Chain A
Amino acid sequence: MSFINYASREINCKIVYYGPGLCGKTTNLQYVYQKTAPEAKGKMISLATETERTLFFDFLPLALGEIRGFKTRFHLYTVPGQVFYDASRKLILKGVDGVVFVADSQEERMDANIESLENLRFNLKEQGYDLDRLPYVVQYNKRDLPGVLPVEELRQELNPTGVPDFEACAATGEGVFETLKAVAKLILIDLKKGR
């Protein structure tokens, strides 16, 4: 649920990075944080375990610039990917404006990808959202690893509706901004329609 403040001329949108454990959601945000000019970002907050697994969420506020005199802010969140943190995932999805599904391209993570995507759909539905009507993009991450599944195969399983999708290596940043830009654009287009 975007928040339009006519008084301070600001618009705030919430983007959630979803995906199985260790697929690289936090790494995506870390890269965006590293590469964004200081004046365009706030502090990145990571509520993580001692082993750097996301426990509740990561949060990164971006203030990218103005459109038509309105300051446009995006609040980026990641969910904890580990299966047993489902209650937390549901909370983070509240008020979401756009979703990035980060898939792990490794063959042995395919089942985890599928399970996480079903979980996303289910949790959204529980809150009255329909993934097919939400600004939504898919990222195939860890393309740098040897022996990953071909994109075609991933696409067939994880992106049957053909939303914008991107290959990425979040560790080096490849594909990270392309992904973010794509979902941001879909959100703004959605706003333009005025819902």
Chain B
Amino acid sequence: MAYPQMVMYDEEFKQINFVIEKLLREANAKVIFLVDKNGQLISGVGETDRFDTTSLASLTAGNIAATGGLAKLIGEKEFSILFHEGEKDNLHISIVGGRVILVVIFDNRSSLGLVRLRVKKASEELTGIFDRLVRKAEEKERSGVPEFPFAEITDDDIDNLFS
């Protein structure tokens, strides 16, 4: 396989949520999502019920992938921040640690300046957590801990999914 599996453990999940919840408060945002570059939702805080989070994750990743392609075409490495201004809500999208996508939705109770400032700080913390997560996953793989939940999966298990 070209890429290792992405994994998430309880400990880091809690740390991540702590950081984005703090960001939500400090940036006066409505909702915040973390998405992996393949479009899978990692976590979300705030008014998540009001949004179709799965679609949002997929489109965000598509958006980042497309602008990343554009960046390459003009000789840039990546556009690490995207900002979309709406009539009511605004979308601030940034890449954290080169690896995951942070999406902040905010309205006029906040401002772009504030969001930028707080995102920068939160990004540093998140980068640290994701670095640890990757190291942890690698270590677990090296030590060969057979904790993988699917190791004992049977054909019946798989068939049952589709029944």
Contacts and interface: CB of A to CB of B under 8 A. Distances in A.
Bin chain B's interface residue count.
Answer: 35 or more
Contact of B62 (A43, A57, A189, A191): A57
Contacts of A72: 161
B157 A184 contact: no
Contacts of A171: none
Contacts, number: 133
Interface string A39-76: 00011010100000000110101001101111010010
Interface stretch (B37-45, B75-83, B104-112): B37-45
Among A7, A127, A191: residue with most chain B CB under 10 A: A7
Contacts of B58: 45, 59, 61, 75
Interface stretch (B21-29, B88-96, B120-128, B146-154): B146-154
Contact of B3 (A95, A191, A192): A95
A5 B13 contact: yes
Given A7-B13, A59-B58, A127 B5 contact: no
A9 to B, nearest CB: 8
Contacts of B149: 4, 11, 67-70
B117 to A, nearest CB: 29
Taking chain A's interface residues, is the majority helix, strand, or loop, or is none over half, making it mixed? Answer: mixed
Contact of B162 (A59, A181, A189, A195): A181
Contacts of A70: 149-150
A2 B66 CA distance: 21
Contacts of A90: 69
Interface string B1-29: 11111111110111000000000000000
Interface string B128-163: 000000000000000000101111110101101110
A4 B8 contact: yes
Contacts of B62: 47, 56-57, 59, 91
Bin chain A's interface residue count.
Answer: 35 or more
B157 A1 contact: no
Nearest to A187: B158
A45 B59 contact: yes
Given A6-B10, A7-B8, A7-B9, 20 more contacts: A1-B1, A1-B38, A5-B42, A6-B13, A7-B13, A14-B40, A47-B62, A61-B55, A65-B160, A67-B161, A68-B157, A90-B69, A95-B36, A127-B2, A181-B162, A185-B158, A189-B158, A192-B150, A192-B153, A194-B148
Interface of A: 1-8, 11-12, 14, 42-43, 45, 47, 56-57, 59, 61, 64-65, 67-70, 72, 75, 87-88, 90-91, 94-95, 127-129, 133, 177, 181, 184-185, 188-189, 191-192, 194-195
Interface of B: 1-10, 12-14, 36-40, 42, 52, 54-55, 58-59, 62, 65-66, 68-69, 146, 148-153, 155, 157-158, 160-162
